[in-house]
Structure 1
Amino acid sequence: MNQNFDIIIVGGGAAGFFTAINIVEKNPKLKVAILERGAEVLQKVRISGGGRCNVTHACFEPNELVKYYPRGEKELRGPFHQFCSGDTIEWFEKHGVELKIEDDGRMFPVSNSSQTIIECFLTATQKLGIEVLTGQSVQSIFKKEALWKIETQNENYIAEKLILATGSNPKIWEMLQTYGHAIVSPVPSLFTFNIKDSRIKELPGVAAQVTVKVKDTKLTSTGPLLITHWGMSGPAVLKLSAWGARILHDKNYQFTIFVNWLNDVESTEAEKILKDLKQEHAKKAVSKKSHFDFPNRLWESLVLASGIEAETKWADLSKVQLQNLSNQLTNGTFQVNGKSTFKEEFVTAGGIDLKEINFKTMESKLHENLYFAGEIVNIDAITGGFNFQNAWTSGFILANGI
């Protein structure tokens, strides 16, 4: 028995639901179903943002917003002019969910619970008569004349239009390759750096505003860095991991980084500052107090790493020790040996080649009535609500196109 629908959406995540709701709100007569392979829908929404759901980011200018996407910057410019973060806020408000902005620009439901977003979607799909079918793992996709036939392990579905919102699902990517779509192979995008180094071993939890560079590449990033039990994390590192996803993968996650703990102060300038401190604090122990914008514990560790003993006074510093300290502060060299996933934010770079998608409608350029929404395409962003914004925008554009 075939079940017939006007539109089938494969993938019961953020992009799938948002697309379905927007389609039926604009065309109430359409018969739409969402197929989800798991027993539960919206699982990534549930755990995102530490269970609070980081819905979007308070960046309201499309040309600025695109800069947060290592892959997709050029392609998203047009779509963001149609549906940007401000439109997201308005959409959720209309659907009974108020959002708030936090100091770092991330936006969450006022309720501080991802359950609010899940209930908003489930209520809307019920009200609009969208069928949500769980436990439906797609085994094959056929194109039969003007219709799509989708086989799951226990059902057959027929639809005029097929929308794939399956995120980083390799099985679906493989099926698309048989239809001639090029897949950019997936590599991890948001990850932290594993570093074993005596300078940071005792400092988990210490944070500083830094500039980080990857040796022998053009990769550089500034922002807060967080020392962890296994190495380094925080926005500065995550940004590097996103922009360097391919390069660092090719290096097998073995590479050298340079950390400037003084952010944008160069070594010659740092030396001058240290010489002034030497005059000013001559009788005090160098290691006792950080004179920079980071904690004393980190300062003490960098002082010791410069070959300066704990009790050494400023007045007794040799020229070489001053240079060593300046170097530790502005050009600390650390070996990265492997990576760790950042919290639950498993994001991959990779997916359907962007050249094969019409970004005015999110339709495949190779097959009529085949559409894509969310992370299935080769678009990804840094952490902060940007990946969800891509889901909302692509879903909205797709619904408009239909």
Structure 2
Amino acid sequence: MEIAIIGGGAAGFFAAISAKQHHPAAGVTIYEKTSKLLAKVKVSGGGRCNVTNACYNVSQLVKFYPRGSKQLKKAFGSFSTGDTVNWFETRGVKLKTEPDNRMFPITDSSQTIIDCLTREAGKLGVKIIQDFPIHSIQPDNSGYKLTGKENQTLYVEKVIITTGGSPKLEGFKWLEQLGHVIESPVPSLFTFNMPEEPVRKLMGVSVSHVSVRVQGTKLKGEGPLLITHWGMSGPAILKLSAYGARVLYQQNYNFKIQVNWLGDHTETDIREVLSGQAANYTRKKMLNANPFNIPSRLWDFLLNKIELREDITWGELGKKGHNRLINILINDIYEVRGKTTFKEEFVTCGGVSLQDVDFNTMQSRKMPGVYFAGEVLDIDGVTGGFNFQVAWTTGYLAGQLK
């Protein structure tokens, strides 16, 4: 049996290794259209490779996927986070967990993961052909005819497609021509640009836990927030961008957000803190006595935004001042005008419709003997190692060729 893997990324390598393990007598070949293998693995996590996330409970794990959570519940039942950790560690790659649950090799180098995958593929006898794009797939007797570089033809029994995401619909046209439904790709991890907002002068300031809502929608993101030269980023914003990918695209990335700088704290909680502050620090300047766990530069900025005097004391604040301060702390509004995507780690939602794939096997429902794995599918996770976990899981399942 000849098996063609189209795409030499994380899902492609894992599918090839799985195929060779499950079918040792088969010929398994990876066809990569560029001269680079595992390119996304190389740049992931700032060159450290965020292999997976230390979330071992499948019901919890699927909540990190804006698209595909229902289907992944089935797939993760066969190969999940624990299996990934075990797979790498039994091949000599020790992983470590960071405080935010992201997992990296202890070497802090993505090359460790690349070396492990290429070594394993080599040991099993997987063939790798680079600079070889596949242009078309056609059914042929009991298998498929592939047309590649310079119109070379290949005949194989099974095909696993791991070509990754594409920022444009054209990148999926060849799969659409095979009868698959394609969900239009749009960016799903991006920062919010705020060209008109003075908050940008606080670039570099981060707040450990905020809550952000998009006005006029049900979209909400929580977690750390980072103020940048362009606007806002950090996990709270990136989560919001992932879950709101299609909605924000439809709004042409022009919308307003409401920021609660104190995360889960409600108006009642804050009013209580402020009353105590006014009673205990009557003569203290508000600027110097910040009762909340937010950076002093941000505290200064917010007081200035509600036009309080620099030397105002807690005793002078008064009822109106209290109300204005509470409002800015839990309902601070900013105008977003555009986005910035991560070029190296570009993630899209969109791709092959999940209805067209059997998630027990990753086989196409339209073309028996054709399988899918990785970001070519309409699946995407939030930042934190979740997209790689999908690559390992779907690659492993596709390689079984059930």
TM class, shorter-length: over 0.9
Matched with 2:363 is 363
Deviation for aligned residue 1:172: 5.2
Question: Is 2:95 the counterpart of 1:99?
Answer: yes
Residue 64 of structure 2 is aligned to residue 68 of structure 1: yes
Matches of 1:206 and 1:382, distance apart in 2: 22
Unpaired segments ≥5 residues, structure 1 = none
Partner residue of 1:156? 153
Partner amino acid, structure 2, of 1:285 = K
CA distance in 2, matches of 1:193, 1:151: 42
Q: 1:120 aligns with which of 107, 116, 122?
A: 116
Q: RMSD of the TM alignment (CA)? A: 1.4
Supply the distance in 1 between the matched residues of 2:268 and 2:108 (Cα, whole angstroms). Answer: 47
Deviates more, 1:140-149 or 1:33-42: 140-149
Aligned residue for 2:336, secondary structure, equals: strand
- Contact 2:191-2:238 at 8 Å conserved across structures: yes
- Shift in Å, 1:10: 0.4
Q: How does 1:2-401 map to 2 (within 5 A)?
A: 6-154=2-150, 155-169=152-166, 170-171=169-170, 173-196=172-195, 198-208=197-207, 209-342=209-342, 344-401=344-401
Structure 2 residue matching 1:127: 3-state secondary structure: helix
1:150-182 alpha-carbon deviations (Å, 9 max, x no partner): 112233221111110001145552111112110
Q: Is the 8 A contact 2:375 2:391 kept in 1?
A: yes
How far is the alpha carbon of 1:104 from its aligned partner?
Answer: 0.9
Letter in 2 for 1:163: I
- SS of corresponding position for 1:180: coil
Q: CA deviation at 1:116?
A: 0.8
Contact 1:199 1:301 in 2 (8 A): no
Equivalents in 2 of 1:62, 1:304: separation in Å? Answer: 46
**SS at 2:302 equivalent:** helix
Relative to structure 1, is the Cα distance of residues 304 and 113 closer, same or farther in structure 2, using a 3 angstrom cutoff? same
Check whether the contact 2:273–2:291 (CA below 8 A) recurs between aligned residues: no
Normalised TM-score (structure 2): 0.96
Distance across 2 between alignment mates of 1:298 and 1:342: 26
Distance (Å, rounded) in 2 between the aligned partners of 1:228 and 1:325: 24
User: C-alpha separation between the residues in 2 aligned to 1:70 and 1:310?
Assistant: 44
Q: Is the contact made by 1:192 and 1:241 (CA closer than 8 Å) also made in structure 2?
A: yes
Kept after mapping to 2: 8 A contact 1:290/1:300: no
Code of the aligned partner of 1:327? N
Query: Are the counterparts in 1 of residues 6 and 163 from structure 2 also a CA contact under 8 Å?
Result: yes
Q: In the aligned structure 1, how far is the partner of 2:219 from the partner of 2:88?
A: 37
Aligned equivalents of 2:118, 2:242: Cα separation in 1: 32
Secondary structure (helix, strand or coil) at the match of 1:138 reads: coil
* CA distance in 2 between partners of 1:16 and 1:69 (Å): 21
Shift of 1:201: 2.7
Structure 1 residue 38: deviation in Å?
0.6
Relative to structure 1, the CA distance from residue 215 to residue 172 in structure 2 (aligned partners, 3 Å threshold; closer, same or farther) is: closer
**AA at the equivalent of 2:189:** L
Amino acid at match of 2:105: P
Cα 1:207–1:316 shift into 2, 3 Å: same
Q: In structure 2, what residue type is equivalent to 1:10?
A: I
CA contact (8 A) 2:135 2:174 kept: no
Structure 2 residue identity aligned to 1:262:
L
Separation in 2, partners of 1:359, 1:66: 14
| Amino acid corresponding to residue 147 of structure 2 in structure 1 | E
The one-letter code of the counterpart of 1:256 is: K
CA distance in 1, matches of 2:239, 2:157: 41
- How many residue pairs get matched? 398
Distance 1:148 1:250 in 2: 39
Q: CA deviation at 1:268?
A: 4.3
* Overall identity of the aligned pairs, in %: 46
1:370 Cα deviation from its structure 2 partner: 0.6
Q: What letter matches 1:27 in structure 2?
A: H
Structure 1 runs of 4+ with >3 Å offset: 169-172, 196-199
Whichever residue aligns with residue 224 of structure 1, its letter is P
Partners of 2:346 and 2:248 in 1: CA distance: 16
Taking a change above 3 Å as real, the CA distance of residues 87 and 258 of structure 1, as seen in their structure-2 partners, is: same
- Rate the CA distance shift 1:187–1:108 in 2: closer, same or farther, 3 A: same
Structure 2: stretches of 5+ with no match in the other structure: none
Residue 163 of structure 2 contacts residue 375 of structure 2 at CA under 8 Å; is this kept in 1? yes
Q: Look up the SS of the partner of 2:225 in the other structure.
A: strand
